[in-house]
Each structure stands twice: as C-alpha cells, then as structure tokens.
Amino acid sequence: MRRLAFALAGLLCSATVHASPWDIASTRYAAYQDPLFNTYQQPNDNDYFRPQASAEPRRLVTFDGRYAPGTIVVSTSERRLFFVTQRGQAIQYSVGVGRPGFEWAGSKTVSMKREWPDWRPPAEMLKRRPDLPRYMPGGPDNPLGARALYLGSSLYRIHGSNEPETIGEAVSSGCIRMTNEDVTDLYNRVRVGARVVVLR
C-alpha cells in the first residue's frame, strides 16, 4: 500500500494559495505558543511527520510590501511559498510544484480546509492513469498528506505529502506540495477566504 501511495503522490497537483489573517480563535489551537515554529498537532500526527529531506526549514524573511498580511504568495520558479505576516515580512516555506506541462499562475482564494483529507483523483488524472484508485481515505498513505487547502473551485490544492523528499522539486500535476509539518503550520495560520497568488 505504501508503494502505491508513493506512486500516486507523483501524480498529484501542485498549486499556490493566498492566506488570510491567523485563524487561532478556536480553543483547539490553544497549544500555539511560538507563532513561527510551534504548531498545534492532533494526537498521533507526530507519527506521520517525517523530517524534511532536501527542503529548507521555514523561516521569517523580508518580503515584497505590496502584499497584505494574510496573503499566500507562491513562486514556482523558486519553489517557495510565502505567508505574509505583516507588510514587508513573510514566513518562507519550501514547496514542490507542477512538473513541466502542469505549471500555472494566477490568483485564487482558499475555499475549504481539511485535516487528513481523503482523495478522489479527478477525471483528467484518471484518463491519464486508469489504474488509480477512485477513492483513498485520509491517512499516512494518502498522497495529500496531513492537511489540504483547496483553491477556489479549481482542482488545485496546497497540501501535505507522504514523500517529503520531493519538496523543492517540480513533480506534481499542478498542486503545491509541502511537508506535513509545514502544511500543518500554514493550515493553522490561514482562514477560508484567504487570497493565494501563484507566480511563475
């Protein structure tokens, strides 16, 4: 099953998202202490977080002041996602992006958030790969990983991965791929309706 999940992960999309102000009103995020490096994790999440391989650790950086706090900006050429925390400042994450032929750019909004999401390959993907399962429940073998941010009505998502060694590469079908640790950190900062800008 693990081998099948690895194969499926290479087929998933890689997209960019825009983030909005922190969403920590819920008591479930009460464990948040350091807003940059400590993330709330559900019980047993740690069992499925593997160390980053080639990706750089997230860090606070100086960033383009044109973007409002809460915006997510993805630079596919740099393989970086930036969550703007205040004018001129952002948290930088390493990401995997769409492989040649599956690149895209544009502006979306976060339309939905899911923890340990299930996966139903879209019709376009099933046409290319009819051997894929029609449904895969959420969990450590699922190529969407620990969290997913859905972008508008598109098939693109910002999501985790069960293949952290692919972060920093152009391997997906258009989705933006992150380590499970980083996508959980981002998920806790973003609310539905956040703006996502994807640049090439």
pTM for the model stands at: 0.73
Q: Determine which one of 5, 151, 175, 176 is catalytic.
A: 175
CATH T-level assignment (fold) for domain 2-23+43-199: L,D-transpeptidase catalytic domain-like (2.40.440)
18 is catalytic: no
Instruction: State the chain's maximal CA–CA distance in angstroms.
Output: 47
pLDDT confidence of residue 54: 52
How many whole angstroms separate alpha carbon 44 and alpha carbon 38? Answer: 16
pLDDT confidence of residue 10: 46
Contact (Cβ atoms closer than 8 angstroms) between residue 13 and residue 98: yes
Q: Determine which one of 58, 159, 177, 189 is catalytic.
A: 159
pLDDT confidence of residue 122: 83
pLDDT confidence of residue 56: 85
C-alpha separations of 61 from 71, 85, 90 in Å? 14, 10, 5
pLDDT along the chain (200 residues), means of 10: 46 39 26 38 44 72 95 96 97 96 95 95 86 89 94 95 92 94 97 96
Residues 67-124 pLDDT 10s: 999 999 999 999 999 999 999 999 999 999 999 999 999 999 999 999 999 988 888 8
